Amino acid sequence: MAPHRKTPRSAAVYLLTQILGEGRLLAELVQNGALEGLDPADRARAQRLASDTLRGLERADRILSKHMRKTPPLFVHNVLRLGTVELCTGGDAHGIVNDAVNLVAANKRAQALKGMVNAVLRKVAQHGPEEWKILRVPRLPKWLRGPLVAAYGPEQMGRIEQVQFATPPLDITPKSADQAPDLADALGGQVIMGGTVRLQNAGQVSLLPGFADGQWWVQDVAAALPVRLLGDVSGQTVLDVCAAPGGKTMQLAAGGAHVTALDISENRLKRVYENLDRTQLSAAVQAGNALDHQGAYDAIVLDAPCSATGTIRRHPDLPYSKDGAKFGDLFALQAQLLDHAVSLLAAGGRMVYCTCSLFPDEGECQIDDLLARNPSISVDRSALDRDDIDPAWITSEGGLRLTPDILADQGGMDGFYMCVLTKAS
């Protein structure tokens, strides 16, 4: 039998097996060549298929359990899961079932189960779409959902999970906020929250007008806010800590700042170089441990390493690649980074601390603790006095808490915490 040709579906099954079996991250797999051999459109489709399957995993497993006496090997299970999600969301039954059977037939360890796969998916094709519609919105794994329900309550958690279940829109940041209305018209999008352009059903990013010549970059609306909270940075020396992949660095550079983009990973900094080159913006890019960095800066952006629990709507693999065991180490590192960043901030300087996390331990609690141990630092509450910020999002210590269910009717946003700090003169 000839080797099975790589297709978007076969690549998606491989991604699912690595994520669910080995705890790998989707972005890491793609970066390491998992989709090599596919053209850009098929790469995008493979990632979309894997992501859609992860979002609908609970529903798929509930439907499949009715048609199987026991759970099959992971590879076969993932073929069935992918097929079930496609069948239940409007895919062509004939092509989906045939591809699934061929995938299993091409795998020597699994080929004996091709008849079972054919029979199960044909049953799913008959009744699955109706069952799919009445099943509950998939929930996060218990290890993650429990503490988030404790923080936000079951009702808001349900709204967050509803947003996470849907395929998110694409947010882009123009080089200049003034360009946002024209860019939205050109791309068929809408301008939201201070200059982000949101696109529904954007398609292949690299083919969109303005991407190749660097007029904009992809950046969730919540991730774009921290730099905007700093206001005018023109002429200022600004340190972007943990800078990769470079969205905030580009914002700062486009605003006229003299930016130092610092990240511990030389590999991740390749994306920063690529993005700066494409957008024709400049920054001093440095690889190194932020805790060893020295200097004095007018402003600092500290987007600290975190659990990334706020980004699950865009990265549905995260709950399956982590189990919370190392979160305590992240909390300690965030405190260390905050203290060191304060030492790098010039007198009278401003710093925005942010994390793409839903855990208060990585946001509100970090700022409370910082203020208690460092009397030279205060919160600049005036930074949040903006038309695009609802006062209900402002927390007691003066930070901004964004959750995925904000703008839910437009596709939501990443969960983020951010706070603007000032150092005494």
Active site residues: 356
Phi-psi region of 201 (alpha: psi -120 to 50; beta: other; left: phi over 0): left
Alpha helix (H) residue ranges in 322-419: 327-344, 364-373
The residues facing 423 across adjacent strands are 377
Report how far residue 57's alpha carbon sits from residue 327's, in angstroms, rounded to the nearest whole number: 24
* Angle between the N-to-C axes of helices 93-105 and 74-88, in degrees from 0 to 180, rounded to the nearest 10: 170
Residue with tokens 């005494």: 424
Query: Strand pairing of 216-218 and 237-241?
Result: unpaired
Instruction: Decide: 167 and 159 in contact? Cβ < 8 Å.
Output: no
Which residues fall within 8 angstroms of residue 24, CB to CB, at 6 or more apart?
18, 321
Q: How far apart are CA 15 and CA 30, in angstroms?
A: 9
Alpha-carbon Rg of the chain, whole angstroms? 23
Distance CA 361, CA 358 (A): 9
Please report, as a single letter, which amino acid is at residue 275. N
